[in-house]
Structure 1
Amino acid sequence: MTKENAAVREAGAQFNLSVMSDDFAEVILGALDAVETKKVWMKTDDVATAATGSIADVFDVVKAIYLHAAKTGLHVEMSGNIVLGGCNTGEDENDRKEIRLNEETSSQISQQAGCRFSIYPLGEAGYIEKITKSVEKLPDYGVEVSMAPFATRIDGEVNDIFKALETTFTEIQETSAHVVMPFTISCNSPSNR
């Protein structure tokens, strides 16, 4: 797989947004409505939200949804998977344009959070070395890195966290046919007070 072909691959995300408040439905629906999603296919049901599109567009939308919920000051958590390969693989012309429809708004929201994630290049020999090299680069994105059970933990500003996640995912997928990145991000937790 060439880097040029890898850059236009389609990714998918499935995630749950949890808001620890009595008005959770309004916050979740408000976040979904506030985000520009025309560059991704998206469906929300009573279990999860799914989105597919270019890697850049999927990360743009997922980050923006999280930030719109998080800016309420409520304890907000998002857990999900971002995947590449299998039935989600294809080409997406949008990625070639690199226009992130939510970037301007997202960059104006500042929110501290903690995130745990793992990344799995499936069916690949030597995957541990590949993962280790990516994890070693994480501090370059302005996040604090520590090890957590079964995962890597990164703490910092949400925009920086998603930049670190996206860059790691993008680098791993350049030479991997199938990639899975489970993640959980949480902000405004009472356990931090």
Structure 2
Amino acid sequence: MEPLQCGTSPIVGFRFTLNPMSGDFIKIIKGALKEIDTSTVWMNTDDVSTVIRGKQNHVFNVAKALTLHAAKTGEHVALNGTFSIGCPGDTSGDVYLDKDDVLLNTDSTKQYVSSQFALYPMNNPDYMAVIYREVERAKEHGVWNDSMHYASGIHGDIHDVFAFYEDSFIHARSEEHRHLVMTVSMSINSPSHGGAENA
């Protein structure tokens, strides 16, 4: 049997934890899962985190919708997750690749997000050039915030931030290096934002 190679599946995965800073955190999380349309992705929740898999546009659409719905409660919400594509053996949920491209979650409510991300272009010896290029892309998108150890700061309206993350996820991989991992951390409705959401 031939060993599995990186990049053999176009399926995108996102494993994440959503943490509302509220005593009603269960209600907030279950409410978000109930109110948005997740029919375009394969999803599984365990006692630590949730994973969704499917076509790239649907994975990012559902991830944004879940985060936005939780944030609309007004509670301080934190999201931590990992996007991945091209992982050897990543085939669960392949049936969802047959879904059309119509996005089912279209809530356009504005919501300020402060976030950080890190890119890991697997097996690419020129990975730093890829990262620097995506930092410049963040500046072009108008969502760049700051440089920091082990991550880059991204902020702005949730729709602009997720649009940048999806765009970066596309451009940070190539035909030669198709296995890509991207980590994202978000803070929403935090008292520490200090009015940045109105800037």
Contact 2:84 2:180 in 1 (8 A): yes
Paired residues, what number? Answer: 182
C-alpha distance in structure 1 between counterparts of 2:121 and 2:193, whole Å: 33
**Corresponding position of 1:37:** 38
* 1:10 Cα deviation after fit: 1.0
Match of 1:3? none
Show the counterpart of 1:172. Answer: 172
> What are structure 2's unaligned runs of at least 5 residues?
1-6, 195-199
Matches within 5 A, 1:77-156: 77-85=78-86, 86-88=88-90, 92-94=97-99, 97-102=100-105, 104-105=106-107, 108-156=108-156
Within-5 A mapping of 1:8-23? 9-23=10-24
Equivalences for 1:32-71 in 2 at 5 Å?
A: 32-71=33-72
Cα 1:174–1:100, aligned 2, differ >3 Å: closer, same or farther? farther
For the residue of structure 1 that corresponds to 2:81, the secondary structure is: strand
DSSP 3-state at the match of 2:89: helix
TM-score (norm 1): 0.88
Give me the whole-angstrom Cα distance separating, in 2, the residues matched to 1:145 and 1:93: 37
Cα RMSD after superposing both structures? 1.7
Which sections of structure 1, spanning at least 5 residues, go unmatched? 1-5
Q: Which amino acid aligns with 2:101?
A: E
Other-structure match for 2:182: 181
Partner of 1:166, secondary structure, is helix
Q: Following the alignment from structure 1 to structure 2, what is the Cα–Cα distance between the partners of residues 133 and 31?
A: 34
Between the aligned partners of 1:100 and 1:34, the Cα distance in structure 2 is 15
Conserved 8 A contact 2:75-2:189: yes
Query: 1:25 is aligned with what amino acid?
Result: I
Deviation at 1:93, TM superposition (A): 3.0
Q: Give secondary structure in 2 for the equivalent of 1:118.
A: strand
Q: How far off its partner does 1:173 sit?
A: 2.6
The alignment partner of 2:172 has SS state of: helix
Residues 13, 83 of structure 1: 8 Å contact kept: yes
Asked if structure 2 preserves the Cα contact closer than 8 Å seen for 1:114 and 1:155, the reply is yes
